[in-house]
Amino acid sequence: MDSNAFSRQSLKRRLALYISVSHRPPWVSYSFAVAATAIMLAVRLGITVNFGERPLLILFMLPIILSAVLGGLGPGLVSTLLSGIGAAYFMPPAGRFAIALPYDIFQWCLLIVDGVLVSFLSGQLHRARHRSELAVRQQTIATAALRESEERFRLLVQAVTEYSIILLDPEGRVTSWNEGARRIKGYDAEEIVGQHFSRFYTREDAAIHKPEAGLKAAADNSKFEEVGIRVRKDGSQFWANVIITPIRDSAGILRGFSKVTRDISERKRRDDIIKEHTALLTRQKAELEQTLGRIKRLEGLLSICMQCKKIRTENNDWHQLERYIGEHSDALFSHGLCPDCLEKAMKKSD
């Protein structure tokens, strides 16, 4: 699944979440308050014959309560205002919007106070419900985004082939397996999930509990890294760079480990060759320096006698050629005759 498909699914989920919570337009609630109060006024007009001039204030609490419950503070106050005006019309003297008796004034004021109080309480409930709905909606969106992020990460991990990326439970059993792990270690997911990761180690390392020591070091130090030999499914061994990281929840409780492994056999082989060549060059350099230290160099212009072949030194002294070369180098001399001298010597002897 590509990123565009993920984006489309995410947008659909978020739109569905917003639409799922009904939000009535304000004019609907206010229209209901006016209509409910008007209907109650009509009802009161219809029962005037039976009750005479008594205002029946209890009837006007019904539209106030309904308007406040359905619309909140504003519609409740509108219904309270309209109900107060209508009640004043029905109080003695009826039909004049005037209240003559103190007891009726007290009842009318009580109606207004009750209407305001009901509207206020209902408004508080509406705000609390709105905050609760908003919190639930935000939590739902956050959960959906988290799931989408986790799915993206899972697909990303599965697509990585250069690294073995696996998840372990706190005891070291494999809970997740990616394509890179299959290519490097040879196991399919159904073969290895649920198995202990110590099977990737050599028998010698497993015998000394090296896998468990790695988990403990990671848990204690927030990370463990090493380079060592690991074992594939077919029994072959390879050099691996391993990083183990603990996974903890928000309370700090250990939930498992992530383990990233890279096959560095080829790099290790190249490093070993470079080390061998470097060591060889170091030895050869030392031998060369030791040899050069034993050599005394002859340099500069040397004056040699044409007759006796003596060499003149910087002190203007003349020395035999053999003595001078012996003092200025580590050369040794052996005496013999060259072919020309040998021929001359033989002719002279004849």
User: Domain spanning 161-263 has what CATH number?
Assistant: 3.30.450.20
What was the pLDDT predicted at 158? 62
Q: Residue 291's CB: how many other CB atoms inside 10 A?
A: 9
DSSP secondary structure, 88-134, as one string? HHHSSSTTTT---SHHHHHHHHHHHHHHHHHHHHHHHHHHHHHHHHH
Distance between CA atoms of 350 and 346, rounded to whole angstroms? 6
How do strand 303-304 and strand 254-263 relate by DSSP bridges?
unpaired
The pLDDT of residue 150 is 65
In this structure, which long-range contacts are made by residues 105-109, counting pairs with CB atoms below 8 Å and at least 24 apart in sequence? 107/55, 107/57, 108/55, 108/57, 108/84
Residue 161 binned pLDDT confidence (cut-offs 50, 70, 90): low
Nearest to 219 by CA among 174, 165, 167, 257: 257
Distance (Å, whole) CA 310 – CA 319:
5
Kindly report the pTM of this predicted structure: 0.47
pLDDT reported for residue 1: 46
User: DSSP code of 145?
Assistant: H
Structure tokens at 33: 């308050």
**For residue range 248-286, what is the model confidence (pLDDT) as tens digits?**
988 889 999 999 999 888 888 888 888 888 888 888 888
330, 294 contact by CB (below 8 A): yes
Please calculate the CA angle 83-87-91 and round it to the nearest 5 degrees. Answer: 175
DSSP 23: -
Low-confidence winner among 133-142, 158-167, 183-192 (lowest mean pLDDT): 158-167
* Residues 31, 37, 40, 46, Cα dihedral to 10°: -90
Domain segments of the chain as ranges? 3-154, 161-263, 303-349
Higher pLDDT, 119 or 24: 119
Side chain identity at residue 36, one-letter code: A
Q: What are φ and ψ of residue 169, in 5° steps?
A: -80, 175
Alpha helices per DSSP H over the chain: 3-20, 26-46, 48-51, 58-71, 73-90, 102-159, 179-185, 189-192, 203-207, 210-221, 265-294, 321-328, 339-349
pLDDT computed for residue 236 by the predictor: 92
**Tokens 């890294």, located at residue:** 225
Residues 167-220 pLDDT 10s: 999 999 999 888 888 889 999 989 999 999 999 999 999 999 999 999 999 999
Residue pair 170/158 in contact by the 8 Å Cβ criterion: no
My answer on whether omega of the bond before 92 falls inside 30° of 0, hence cis, is no
Q: Are 74 and 26 in contact (CB under 8 A)?
A: yes
CA-nearest of 57, 77, 59 to 68 is 77
pLDDT top residue among 77 and 294: 77
Round to whole Å and give the CA distance between 107 and 113: 10
Could you give the CA distance from residue 36 to residue 64 in angstroms, rounded to a whole number?
8
Residue 122 has pLDDT above 50, yes or no: yes
